[in-house]
């Protein structure tokens, strides 16, 4: 459990090579799934195209439940990409973990707070950007004093709280899942035949639950992204 | 054992600035690539399908209205045809009645005329017959008279003569 991270210093920045690897793998898988399923597009959808269209409709519904489609339509691609990327990232650490020289290489990229907080900050930054772009700087600034001006400090805190909760919720869920999986599969199952048998049932159950959690967390991440976005870009809330 | 370092951002071996930059970069690249190669075309086809369906529905609606209109037209035409036929039959019947009336009247007139003509002919014939008879009687009288004058006859002879003459006259007629 006590694994080191393969850290490398380069150009004055610290890189966790495990994160670099997993981010790349997750991105590649998302890209491959998306591109392969949209190769033979047809008016009558079949197979993977159906799935992708379902994902698109799913994200469209998330956006529509938060804002009208006229303003929300521009976040469609962001939403789909986030959903796919976060979901795939969550699933990556489930089948196995790879350690080499006591360094953890294969895991969910979302089981690292740096990655999830990066995504969260990016989302919050985007909400501010679109808030200014769609409503103008004046309206955007005024929103910090609504509905009461004395709530201004709370509004500021809210922004940071939103960022932290958005990132840490995802991280916590996935990291906890992997820790427990590691304990079950790595420690309990390694104690012998009895341990292996004793571990297999809860491991299976926990794996199933982790798949569920991974999907749910991806959905929640996108949902909250759109909620925050709606707070910034819609005029009435 | 767990080290606390694993849970604390930026603790331990320094701030993971590289990860952040890499993640951000990768996500933006991924989004751009997906937009170009996957989501864009997919959205395009979905939009196309939406348009197609909308067009189909519109066309169906239009053809439905058209069909309804045509049905109405056909119904109207049928009604008109039926009316025409009715009218034609009515006309024919009226015409027939009229003709019958005419024929009967004509026949009646013709028979009247025929009767008239026959009566007139009968009258004429009768007159002629009377005239002819009168002439015959005169001639007969002259004949009888001349016979009587020619010869003195006994009563029986005279009677016989008269009878003969009359018979002869009958034969002559």
For the residues B29-42, what does the mean pLDDT come to? 86
For the residues A78-102, what does the mean pLDDT come to? 83
Instruction: Report d(CA A123, CA A221) in Å as an integer.
Output: 10
Least confident of A54-63, A93-102, B101-110: A93-102
Residue B12 pLDDT > 50, yes or no? no
The winner for highest mean pLDDT among A173-187, B116-130, B157-171 is: B116-130
A24, A27, A56 member nearest B42 (Cβ): A56
Residue B148 pLDDT > 60, yes or no? yes
Residue B71 pLDDT > 60, yes or no? yes
For residue A27, give the 3-state DSSP assignment: helix
The position carrying tokens 């393969």 is A6
Q: Where is pLDDT greater, at B102 or A184?
A: B102
- Chain B CB contacts of A31 under 8 Å are 30, 33-34, 37-38
Domain boundaries, chain A: 7-233
Q: What is the mean pLDDT of chain A?
A: 84
Quote the pLDDT of residue B4.
46
The winner for highest mean pLDDT among B1-5, B97-101, B151-155 is: B97-101
Task: Look at strands A13-16 and A98-100 and give their pairing.
Answer: unpaired
- Best residue in A4, A25, A34 for a mutation probing chain B (most B CBs within 10 Å): A34
**What is the 3-state secondary structure of A188-237?**
HHHHCHHHHHHHHHHHHHHHHHHHHHHHHHHHHHHHHHHHHHHHHHCCCC
Domain boundaries, chain B: 51-172
For the residues B44-61, what does the mean pLDDT come to? 91
Residue of B nearest to A175 (CA): B7
Res. A201 pLDDT band, cuts 50 70 90: confident
The answer to whether A18 and A103 have CB atoms below 8 angstroms apart is yes
Cβ of B18 and A16 within 8 Å?
yes
The position carrying tokens 């959205």 is B43
Say if the ipTM goes beyond 0.85. no
pLDDT in tens, A181-191: 888 877 776 77
**What is the 3-state secondary structure of chain B?**
CCCHHHHCCCCCCCCCHHHHHHHHHHHHHHHHHHHHHHHHHHHHHHHHHHHHHHHHHHHHHHHHHHHHHHHHHHHHHHHHHHHHHHHHHHHHHHHHHHHHHHHHHHHHHHHHHHHHHHHHHHHHHHHHHHHHHHHHHHHHHHHHHHHHHHCCCCHHHHHHHHHHHHHHHHHHC
Cβ of A118 and B37 within 8 Å?
no
Say how many residues make up chain B. 173
Quote the pLDDT of residue B11.
43
Quote the pLDDT of residue B173.
55
Q: Where is pLDDT greater, at A8 or B64?
A: B64
Quote the pLDDT of residue B1.
33
Instruction: Report d(CA A17, CA B16) in Å as an integer.
Output: 10
Residue A102: count of CB within 10 angstroms of its CB: 9
The winner for highest mean pLDDT among A50-54, A197-201, B35-39, B62-66 is: B62-66
Percent above pLDDT 90 for chain B: 47
- CA dihedral sign, ordered A180, A183, A184, A185: positive
Quote the pLDDT of residue B9.
46
Instruction: Report d(CA A121, CA A123) in Å as an integer.
Output: 5
Across the A:B interface, residue pairs with CB atoms under 8 Å apart total 122
Q: Write out the H or E segment, with its range, that includes residue A13.
A: strand A13-16
Contacts of A230 (CB under 8 A, 6+ apart): A66, A67, A72, A237
- CA dihedral sign, ordered A132, A133, A137, A140: negative
Quote the pLDDT of residue B14.
57
């Amino acid at each position: 459990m006590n694994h080191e991270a393969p850290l490398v210093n380069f150009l004055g920045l610290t890189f966790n090579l495990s994160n670099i690897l997993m981010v790349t793998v997750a991105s590649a898988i998302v890209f491959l799934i998306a591109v392969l399923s949209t190769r033979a597009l047809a008016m009558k959808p079949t197979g993977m195209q159906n799935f992708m269209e379902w994902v698109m409709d799913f994200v469209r519904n998330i956006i529509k439940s938060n804002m009208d489609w006229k303003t929300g339509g521009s976040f469609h691609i962001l939403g789909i990409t986030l959903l796919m990327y976060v979901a795939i990232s969550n699933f990556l650490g489930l089948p196995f973990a790879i350690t080499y020289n006591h360094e953890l290489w294969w895991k969910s990229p979302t089981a690292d707070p740096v990655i999830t907080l990066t995504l969260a900050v990016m989302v919050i930054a985007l909400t501010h950007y679109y808030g200014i772009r769609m409503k103008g700087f004046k309206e955007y600034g005024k929103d910090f004093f609504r509905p009461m001006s004395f709530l201004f400090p709370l509004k500021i805190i809210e922004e940071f709280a939103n960022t932290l909760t958005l990132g840490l919720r995802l991280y916590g869920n996935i990291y906890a899942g992997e820790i427990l999986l590691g304990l079950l599969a790595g420690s309990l199952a390694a104690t012998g035949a009895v341990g292996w048998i004793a571990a297999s049932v809860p491991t299976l159950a926990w794996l199933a639950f982790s798949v569920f959690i991974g999907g749910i967390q991806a959905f929640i991440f996108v949902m909250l992204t759109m909620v925050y976005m709606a707070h910034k870009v819609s005029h009435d809330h | 054992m767990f080290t606390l370092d694993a849970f604390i951002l930026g603790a331990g071996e320094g701030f993971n600035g590289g990860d952040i930059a890499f993640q951000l970069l990768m996500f933006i690249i991924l989004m751009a690539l997906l937009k170009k190669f996957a989501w864009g075309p997919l959205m395009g086809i979905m939009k196309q399908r939406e348009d197609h369906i909308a067009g189909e529905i519109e066309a169906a609606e239009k053809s439905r209205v058209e069909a309804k209109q045509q049905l109405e037209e056909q119904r109207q035409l049928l009604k008109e045809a039926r009316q025409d036929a009715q009218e034609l039959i009515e006309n024919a019947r009226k015409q027939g009645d009229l003709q019958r009336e005419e024929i009967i009247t004509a026949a009646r007139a013709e028979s009247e005329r025929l009767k008239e003509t026959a009566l007139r002919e009968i009258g004429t014939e009768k007159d002629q017959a009377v005239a002819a008879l009168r002439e015959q009687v005169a001639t007969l009288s002259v004949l009888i008279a001349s016979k009587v004058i020619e010869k003195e006859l006994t009563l029986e002879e005279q009677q016989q003569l008269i009878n003969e003459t009359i018979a002869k006259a009958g034969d002559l007629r």
